[in-house]
Every structure is written in C-alpha cells, then in structure tokens.
Amino acid sequence: MTSARVWGWGEDFELARDNSEKYVSKRWKKTTKECSVIISGKEIDEGTEFSISAYTSEPKKAGDLAEDLLDIVLSGNNKPYFITIDLYDYLASDEEVYRDSLQVAEEAYKGREQLIIQKFKDHPKVKALSQGEKPIVVFPLTTVLCEMQSDNINKIIV
C-alpha cells in the first residue's frame, strides 16, 4: 500500500482534484487493484469528527471522488482537515464490511454509552466529585462505521 495526503485545510479547493489525479497517475501500477480517497474532518456544531472513504478500481475516478467528497463536506457545517489517497494491490474494500442497519448501530452506541457512564459513575473518585455542585459529564470516544454501495464506485465507508 502507498499513501499520500493530496489536500489539506487552507489549500485551494481545486487542488483536491488536481493533486489526486497527479498522484494516482504517477503511483498507479499494473499491480494496483484499488484506491481509496479519504476525507477527514469535523462537524462544527457537535464537534463530531468524521472520515469518509470512497473506493474505486478505476484510476481516472480519483480526482472526481476527491472533488465530490470535498464538495459534500463543504456543503454542511463541516471543516475538512485533509484528503488522502491510499493505493492497494488488492481489493481493500472487500475487507471493510459494516452491514448492520443504522438502527442497530444507534442501539449499540446508546448501550455502549450507558455502560461507560455506569462504570464511571461507580468509580470512587468520580463518586466523590459527583457529591459537589457540578454534574459530571462523560464524553465517550466512539467510532460508528457505515457502509454504502454505489453504482459508480466500489464502496463508501463513513
């Protein structure tokens, strides 16, 4: 696998497409089977960090994917941090499987959150602090993955 950051916050938006196309045209080999275009950033209102990976086996689509992902992220209240491209000599998207429904993912998230809160609530140091005037708030680091299929590309992982 080879990887490169092709765009970062503060750079011209047009460079996302241009740099992606240049990188893929130079690094795509006969043995390359797939690439992922990954955009990472943060949703401003809630502070949720995100990463979107789009996989394709067609090198000519990398620039379009980078531009499309950046446009999608910029259309909301988001700050994109960077775009990277990974090249694989196998179908990496086949190894990324997240097929539970959104409802199942939400229930798992809520259950995990309650479990973490319960563990902290019963911890002696937290119990002592909770006797004070300020409530204790727990922000568990949680990763939720969602897989989407597309007619135009191999797979999208959010």
Q: What CATH number does residue 30 fall under? A: 3.30.1490
CA gap 81, 53 in Å, rounded: 14
Q: Is residue 74 part of a domain?
A: yes
Q: Is residue 51 domain-resident? A: yes
CA distances from 154 to 32, 68, 106, 110, 115 (A): 14, 15, 25, 30, 36
20 domain residue, yes or no: yes
Provide the residue range defining the domain that includes 151. 2-98+143-157
Per-residue pLDDT of 5-36, as tens digits, reads 999 999 999 999 999 999 999 999 999 999 99
Extract the tokens encoding 142.
């949680």
- Summary mean pLDDT of the chain: 87
Q: Could you tell me if residue 128 is inside a domain?
A: no
pTM: 0.76
Region 35-56: what's the mean pLDDT? 93
Q: Number of structural domains, the chain?
A: 1
Report the number of secondary-structure helices (H) and strands (E) in the chain. 4, 6
Contact between 84 and 4 under an 8 Å Cβ cutoff? The reply is yes
Q: By C-alpha distance, which of 71, 70, 95, 96 is closest to 83?
A: 70
Place of tokens 């911890």: 123
* In a domain? residue 113: no
Task: Tell me the torsion sign for CA atoms 124, 127, 131, 132.
Answer: positive
The four Cα atoms 117, 123, 125, 129 give a dihedral, to 10 degrees, of: 40
Query: Quick check: is 85 in a domain?
Result: yes
- Tell me whether residue 125 is in a domain: no
| Structural domain includes residue 132 | no
